[in-house]
Chain A
Amino acid sequence: MTHLAGFGAALPGTVVANAALAEEFQVPEEWILSVTGIRERRRAAGQETPASLAEAAARIALDASGLLPTQLGAIVVGSGSSPRQFPGISAELQRRLAAPGIPAFDVPLASSGSLVALALAADLAPRYGPVLVAGAEVMSRILDRPPRSKETSILFGDGAGAVVVAPGPGPVELTDVRFACDGALGDDLSLEPGAPLVMNGRTVILQASRKLPAAVRDLLGRAGLLPADIDLFVFHQANLVLLRQVAKSLAVDESRLFVNVDRYGNTSAASLLVALSEAAGQGLLRPGKRVVLGAFGAGFSWGAALLTVRG
């Protein structure tokens, strides 16, 4: 058994509102809002990197957990925008946290990376000790590769989130987590070194709208629960319209969705942990609540987790 001991998030200070992108791509601001639900997103400054944002989020999560970096059992980072092919962000994060010797590795899955990292952490924590999981992205540097695409530029933002997965029981129990992959349509969301992001939005939406609700139902079925038994759904903040579609498919009211995509855009692998950190900060993880996490992204890879908040 494991629990989530502390949460953190770090967003760059620079805000890019829809107006700027509307002007760049000669589209109405209202169109951007209607197809994405996004009003603004954050953009990393020149000196900010996925590792620096991950460090900021990690330090908040570690403080909340009452742990020093040297007390960690492992570090796992989910990201699709690592500036280097190797070593990954996790090694730099470990260096920044001054925690030499702590095992650190990366899960290079855009959007679903932090959910998969969370699943791995649940297995690692009982054996290695508390695991720092971070999701960190600087998508803007990928989006800036020419030719800039309207469809991706309006969608993505930069940021990082973090959580500490600790062994044993605790107030926020990680009750179950599952993930899966289907590589058949992997080319529809992909990134070659130095090349622009490839995203066939229709395929991503079609697959996510089917697979994410199915993953949630399967996960809940293992616990003898139904979507109606869940108090809060914290999903990867892909796109508000997609989140609503998933809620509709699960037959749950949209009021049970945690939403911050309007303020940060789609921060890929960071978004799940940024959203979870904000949900915790808003006091939404109250005793007695059941919370479902879910993500879908490159691979395609997807998964879901069940949290049970104990009294």
Chain B
Amino acid sequence: MASLHDTIRQTLEPLAQAPIPDDPDASLFDLGVIDSFGLMDAIAQLEEALGVKVPDSDLNPRRFETLAKVERYFASRLASGG
């Protein structure tokens, strides 16, 4: 079974507009990996892949700016039952 880390990378890979960084704290926005419009698609794909729903109140780009933040966010959603 793929780890959360691997699932996130595999889900983002087809949507990425630049190489996904190895540094988990690098900004996906500053590196051009995901633009403003791609972020919505990325969140939708992650919701589907991980079986969790991101509520509107959590739709804040700052939560999804780095791989570490994405992983932390979805780990917390999964821990709380999605």
Contacts and interface: CB of A to CB of B under 8 A. Distances in A.
Interface stretch (A69-77, A161-169, A203-211): A203-211
Contact of A205 (B40, B56, B60): B40
Nearest to A184: B57
Nearest to B37: A241
Nearest to B65: A202
B37 A203 contact: no
Contacts of B56: 182, 207, 210-211
A206 B64 CA distance: 11
A200 B61 CA distance: 9
Contacts of A202: 29, 36, 39, 61
B13 to A, nearest CB: 20
A185 interface: yes
A45 to B, nearest CB: 32
A184 B55 CA distance: 13
Interface string A206-242: 1101110000000000000000000000000000011
B52 interface: no
A175 interface: no
Nearest to A300: B56
A288 interface: no
B57 A206 contact: no
A200 B56 CA distance: 16
Nearest to B55: A210
A160 B78 CA distance: 48
A39 to B, nearest CB: 19
Interface in A163-210: 182, 184-185, 200-203, 205-207, 209-210
B4 interface: no
Nearest to A242: B37
Contacts of B39: 202, 205-206
B36 A205 contact: yes
Contacts of B36: 201-202, 205-206
B57 A205 contact: no
B59 interface: yes
A184 B61 CA distance: 14
A65 interface: no
18 contacts: A182-B57, A184-B57, A200-B61, A201-B36, A202-B39, A203-B59, A203-B60, A205-B36, A205-B39, A206-B43, A206-B59, A206-B60, A210-B56, A210-B59, A211-B56, A241-B37, A242-B37, A245-B40
Given A202-B39, A206-B60, A241-B37, 19 more contacts: A182-B56, A184-B57, A185-B60, A200-B61, A202-B61, A203-B59, A203-B60, A203-B61, A205-B36, A205-B37, A205-B39, A206-B40, A206-B59, A209-B37, A209-B40, A210-B40, A210-B59, A242-B37, A245-B40
